[in-house]
Copies of this chain bind each other. A is one copy, B any other.
Amino acid sequence: MRLCVLGAGAVGASTARLASEYGHTVTAFADSTGAVVDSDGIDVDGALAHKERVGSVGESDPSDALAAEYDALVEATPTTLGDAHPGFEHVEAAFERDKHVVLANKGPVAERYDDVVALAEASAGELRFEATVAGTIPVLSTIEGVGAERVNAVRGVLNGTANFVLSRMSADGLGYEHVLAEAQDLGVAEADPSFDVDGTDAALKGAILANVIHGGGYSLADVDVEGIEDFPGSALEVAAEDGRTVRLIGEVTATGDIRVGPRLVPENDPLAVTGTENIVQLDTEHAGRLNLSGAGAGGPETATAVLADVTRLD
């Protein structure tokens, strides 16, 4: 399949790099300032070297990529809130040309799900967005197999950075600021980790899950969010005395509420994953509880979810 990859951050770059291994060809690749287009397949390593040298993947105008020849758009530009600009417009442009759309960008399906679905329904293209929830973990394809209407509730650890911080505070009795600085040194937390530690990132994933399970209607504004910035280390000590620990849990309840916040969980509970690992629990109608865990982030890891989606397009 011919891919147009928008976004050359960790996920976009890894998707472009791994595409050929999966039997696909990148015919267009763009970041915010440049693009490279070739209907026979671009030189991905060359484009990434170009970015390294001059800051953009190529000399063409970024808009040339969307106008190029391709079968599926991979939208991996940074997640934006509210109108989800410019990701939403990229999705719109692809569907209007009857192309498939595979999202790594959470914005369009967290903030404007109903609009995106309407565009998909009016298009011959198909919509997939496995990579937007819990990185490499096959949450959405599992929900697809179970049948969204038979998933009663979902909960999980949906942000690896917050989980790294909480599990390290808990295991080693270290303070929040200390562990956050360590996470930044390790590259586990970004320079501005606000969306990870204030719960926004997990809340976006909660909104996406709610949209999938309940057929739309949700956005970030519908999520009851509490982060971990002010979580007291002393509460972790109290929890530990009782054989429990604390994780930042995102959940979609059976009644359709979405909540993100620090929750007590037993130390040996499947939810008590450590480090940057994510886990998603699905409570299903006939199949009981399914637990899916693995890497919730990372360029190549998340790219595998993008490429699994591409493979699932007919």
Q: A interface vs B, CB < 8 Å?
A: 14, 18, 22, 130, 136-138, 141-142, 144-147, 150, 267-268, 270, 284, 286-295, 298, 300-301, 303-305, 308, 311-312, 314
Chain B's closest residue to A294 (CB) is: B290
Q: Of the candidates B267, B301, B314, which one forms a contact with A288 in the assembled complex, judged by CB atoms under 8 Å apart?
A: B301
The answer for the CA separation of A314 and B136 in the assembled complex, in Å, is 25
Q: Which residues of B contact A267 (CB under 8 A)?
A: 268
- Cβ B287 vs Cβ A300 within 8 A: yes
- Cβ B290 vs Cβ A292 within 8 A: yes
Q: Which residues of B contact A311 (CB under 8 A)?
A: 144-145, 147
Chain B's closest residue to A147 (CB) is: B22
The answer for the CA separation of A18 and B146 in the assembled complex, in Å, is 12
The answer for the CA separation of A312 and B308 in the assembled complex, in Å, is 15
Q: Which residues of B contact A298 (CB under 8 A)?
A: 288
Q: Of the candidates B130, B290, B300, which one forms a contact with A136 in the assembled complex, judged by CB atoms under 8 Å apart?
A: B290
- Cβ B308 vs Cβ A136 within 8 A: no
Q: Which residues of B contact A136 (CB under 8 A)?
A: 284, 287-288, 290
Max chain B Cβ within 10 angstroms of own Cβ: one of A18, A288, A303: A288
- Cβ A287 vs Cβ B294 within 8 A: yes
- Cβ A291 vs Cβ B288 within 8 A: no
The answer for the CA separation of A188 and B251 in the assembled complex, in Å, is 32
- Cβ A268 vs Cβ B270 within 8 A: no
- Cβ B270 vs Cβ A304 within 8 A: no
- Cβ A137 vs Cβ B290 within 8 A: yes
Max chain B Cβ within 10 angstroms of own Cβ: one of A294, A295, A303, A311: A294
- Cβ B289 vs Cβ A18 within 8 A: no
- Cβ B287 vs Cβ A304 within 8 A: yes
- Cβ B22 vs Cβ A304 within 8 A: no
Q: Which residues of B contact A287 (CB under 8 A)?
A: 136, 294-295, 300-301, 304-305
The answer for the CA separation of A305 and B144 in the assembled complex, in Å, is 12
Q: Of the candidates B147, B268, B291, B308, which one forms a contact with A268 in the assembled complex, judged by CB atoms under 8 Å apart?
A: B268
The answer for the CA separation of A69 and B288 in the assembled complex, in Å, is 33
Q: A145-B312, A146-B304 are in contact. Are A292 and B295 (CB under 8 A)?
A: no
